[in-house]
Structure 1
Amino acid sequence: MKARSLRRDLALGLGAGLTVLWIVAMLGAALIVREELDEVYDSLMEETSDRLLPFMAGPETPALPPRAEALLTWALHGAVGVRYSDDADPADFPANPPEGFSTAGDQRHFVRSLDGMTLDIASPLQERREALQGVMTALILPALALLPVCLLGIVWFTNRRLRPVAALSAEVAGRSPGDLRALTTPALPAELAPVRDEMNRLMADLAETLEAEKAFSANAAHELRTPIAATLAHVQLLRDASDGPLRARAEKAEAELKRVARLAEKLLQLARAEHATSIAPLADVAPILRLVAADFGLTADVPDAPVSLRIDADAFAILARNLIENAVTHGTETTVRLDADGTLRIANDCATIPPEKLAHLTRRFERSGARTAGSGLGLAIAAAIAENADMTLRLHSPREGSNQGFEAVMLSGPTDVGKPSRLNAVLI
């Protein structure tokens, strides 16, 4: 499920809230303006009646000049009948209108009597609607023009206020798995500062736990060296002084002790590998690879020019040694190549390894073949060094250019985990 965007939700929520409030405000303004217009028109009708009725109740009622637009019309009921204004429509006036204000059809009426005469003043409701429409248009059009500006302002303000969140996320994403230093994102708001502080506390506890684990592994492996070496010396003396079945048993004990000694050495290397980091000076790894390959009787194919990688020289030597040892132990025709861009390729000829086994080879004590071959830690050590040095270890089977074999490829930078390669690669 795709994670929701806080920035988008805030922008949409504030924008929708502003729009709803604007609509409610416009509706409220329309009701208020309509009520005020009704009061103005009704007051005009009442004032007109107060002034016109005494004038018409006199002995003579002169004719009034016609107007271009009739906002008010009237009907005068007297002893001699009904008289209408020149621009009045008799159909708009009821025969017996009630006193005061009333509404009939599309007309608003105000009726007042004086000295036996009744004056009925009518005002078209259409005029009021047109006036309301004009006022609301004058209010809405500028508001409509400002609404997009307000929405853009909300988006800008939201993005600006959420920059500390993006900065904190970028700092966390930029950390390598082994980098447990405290986060130092500055200018965090009060709501995010506790999150950063709790993450720092968690990473400090995790670093302490990992340090204790690494120290235990290193100390245990180191302390095992002396008793293993002493026991091995006694077994070798026993082997030289014996013959027959006892000598055979001594030789088996010697082989197992040597295997335990190698395992202790691998545990020391694993503890060292977990301390590897990308915060290291550049080192020319070409001569290191030549020396390590020569220890196994191999010639490394390396460029003549220096190949510099940001990795500790000892850590690279441990990585290369374990990859080469793994290839020599589990196959034949081992080749070692270092490209100018820092890509290390170590391949051997062996039976094809199934993808389900290939994916687990970097686990500790995982073996693809016989349980007695190797310690099961070589690829785990190489993977730990590569990961902590911001590099990428890929395992392929079959090897490149063949239908069988095994190949380990170390890239000089991290890649997107889960991106398949053309050789059934497994990203570590």
Structure 2
Amino acid sequence: MDGFKKRLNESVQLKLSFSLSLAILLIAVVAGIFSFVSAFDEAHELQDDMLRQVAALFDRHHLPLVHFGDDGRAKDSYEESRVIVQYLADSVNVAGNRDTGAPLTLPITLSDGLHTLDVSGEPFRVLVKTTSSGERVAVAQETGIRDEIARDSALRTLMPFLILVPILLLIVADLVRKMFRPIDSLSVEIDQRAEQELHPIDENHLPAEVRPFVVAINRLLARVDHSMEVQRRFVADAAHELRSPLTALSLQAERLDQADMSDLARERLMKLRRGIERSRNLLSQLLTLARAQSALDRPKSSVSVQRVYRRVLEDLMPLAEYKHVDVGVEGEQDAQLWVNEQDLVAIVMNLVDNAIRYTPDGGRVDLSVTTGELHAVIRIQDSGPGIQATERERVFDPFYRTVGSDQVGSGLGLSIVKAVADRIGAEIQLEFSDNVSHSGLFVSVSVPISNARN
């Protein structure tokens, strides 16, 4: 019960449906009781009129009363006969103050009109009428039979309520659910949006009561989008401004390397140059991440995955040769994707760069692509240590590095891949290359082919 009260307080739809249903039930009960009582009384009035009509019929046509047998019923009559007609008193039958020889023993002193009497332990409704010939006629009917007929008639008036009220409750519940359907659709639409999809919500098809709330949400989305744009612009501007001094420092370090110096100074100079190079790589990745998080530009033409593979391998081949890692493309199957080439290059570049860096010397990195009806899948597989299942969600966070990693890096590579994948509607899946030994990383990037045709 407490759970239902909690749901009732939290749900406007449930509260509205419950309130309307309760109001309908209360009104139906009151109307049913009123209808039953009215029909019951009306049935009794009709039965009284029937007694009057029977008495008038005998008076008007001077009909003889039927001869009753010993059991008090008319001969050849049906068991369902419900009305008894007898003389109340005349010069022949009257003896004392009781009417004798009749099915009912009625007092002869009854006045004309309707009476409710107890005859031999059973209640009767009796109409006494004096005919035009001076005879007094009693028309009687058992009260139990009258009540049964009246009750059946009154219950028949309740049948529409019993049938229509449940139907009405179902209709009300369905109408309330349909009225709230635009709100449910709105919640689904907002819930399915990606992090970067901050465009306004269409408010034209929404009810007027919900529209102010949607307008407020659109204003909030605009403020959030502006704030994120300011943040991205700051990161991009800061990274861009830092590139020039770092480039100057790198050039000065190269010139200083040509000067005569001691072995200790040259060792420290090499550490300085490596630090400068790491800083330059970090700034480059920050710029790439800022571009990946910006608004999506519609591609003007399709991009060949094999061409992107060749371009990436040309840039990363020196690193692969330095680590003696065998990097190659498996198969000749190609796919044409309608995405920006820079976005696809950013995904493949960062994935292959990570694969080479984390693969031990003498290892292997394989690239491939397969196509289906709706998606093209880019696959990059290495023979490195892989990523444990418990860390596969966090590796996409900026600056996150796997535990125990001794490789030099900024922790932005997979963040860039995730940001670009979200932009183009792609899905990333991480698995082990070798499920038996739980080693190696197998990355699948599923890109929708239909993007090109929309």
TM-score after normalising by structure 2: 0.73
Structure-2 change in CA distance of 1:395 and 1:102 (3 Å):
same
Superposed, 1:395-414 pairs within 5 Å as 395-399=430-434, 403-413=438-448
Q: Aligned residue for 2:395?
A: 361
Q: Aligned residue for 1:195?
A: 213
2:270 paired with 1:251: yes
Aligned with residue 35 of structure 2, among 26, 29, 51: 29
Q: Aligned residue for 1:426?
A: none
What code does the residue aligned with 2:42 have? E
Q: Aligned residue for 1:269?
A: 288
Structure-2 change in CA distance of 1:203 and 1:173 (3 Å):
same
Deviation at 1:196, TM superposition (A): 1.7
2:97/2:109 contact within 8 Å kept: no
Aligned length: 399
Superposed, 1:155-304 pairs within 5 Å as 157-158=175-176, 160-173=178-191, 175-241=193-259, 242-275=261-294, 277=296, 280=299, 283-286=302-305, 287-297=307-317, 298-301=327-330, 303-304=332-333
Superposed, 1:25-424 pairs within 5 Å as 25-41=31-47, 64-65=65-66, 69-71=81-83, 76=88, 80-83=96-99, 86=102, 88-90=103-105, 104=118, 106-109=122-125, 122-136=140-154, 138-141=156-159, 146=164, 150=168, 153-154=171-172, 157-158=175-176, 160-173=178-191, 175-241=193-259, 242-275=261-294, 277=296, 280=299, 283-286=302-305, 287-297=307-317, 298-301=327-330, 303-305=332-334, 307-331=335-359, 332-341=363-372, 342-368=376-402, 369-370=404-405, 373-399=408-434, 403-413=438-448
Give the secondary-structure state (helix, strand or coil) at the position aligned to 1:267: helix
1:277/1:390 contact within 8 Å kept: no
1:338/1:345 contact within 8 Å kept: yes
2:434/2:440 contact within 8 Å kept: yes
Q: Distance in 1 between matches of 2:167 and 2:34?
A: 22
Between 13-22 and 249-258, the greater mean CA deviation after superposition: 13-22
Deviation at 1:101, TM superposition (A): 5.2
What code does the residue aligned with 1:107 have? P
Give the secondary-structure state (helix, strand or coil) at the position aligned to 2:439: coil
Deviation at 1:219, TM superposition (A): 0.9
What code does the residue aligned with 1:71 have? V
Structure-2 change in CA distance of 1:268 and 1:226 (3 Å):
same
1:232/1:257 contact within 8 Å kept: yes
Deviation at 1:334, TM superposition (A): 1.3
List alignment gaps of at least 5 residues for structure 2.
Answer: 68-73, 131-135, 318-326, 450-454
Q: Distance in 2 between matches of 1:280 and 1:289?
A: 19
What code does the residue aligned with 1:326 have? N
TM-score after normalising by structure 1: 0.76
What code does the residue aligned with 1:269 have? T
Q: Distance in 1 between matches of 2:109 and 2:268?
A: 134
What code does the residue aligned with 1:210 have? M
Deviation at 1:292, TM superposition (A): 1.0
Structure-2 change in CA distance of 1:302 and 1:183 (3 Å):
farther
What code does the residue aligned with 1:203 have? L
Structure-2 change in CA distance of 1:334 and 1:182 (3 Å):
same
Deviation at 1:267, TM superposition (A): 0.6
Q: CA RMSD in A?
A: 4.2
Deviation at 1:338, TM superposition (A): 1.6
Structure-2 change in CA distance of 1:165 and 1:15 (3 Å):
same
Structure-2 change in CA distance of 1:216 and 1:110 (3 Å):
same
- Please list the CA deviations of residues 144-179 of structure 1 after superposition, one character each: whole Å capped at 9, or x if unmatched: 565576466546644554443354345435533321
Q: Distance in 1 between matches of 2:109 and 2:117?
A: 13
1:303/1:340 contact within 8 Å kept: no
1:108/1:122 contact within 8 Å kept: yes
Deviation at 1:222, TM superposition (A): 0.7
Deviation at 1:120, TM superposition (A): 8.2
- Please list the CA deviations of residues 397-420 of structure 1 after superposition, one character each: whole Å capped at 9, or x if unmatched: 344686421122111259xxxxxx
- Please list the CA deviations of residues 274-328 of structure 1 after superposition, one character each: whole Å capped at 9, or x if unmatched: 12649555622321222112322243336444x1334221111111111111111
Structure-2 change in CA distance of 1:336 and 1:195 (3 Å):
same
Give the secondary-structure state (helix, strand or coil) at the position aligned to 1:191: coil
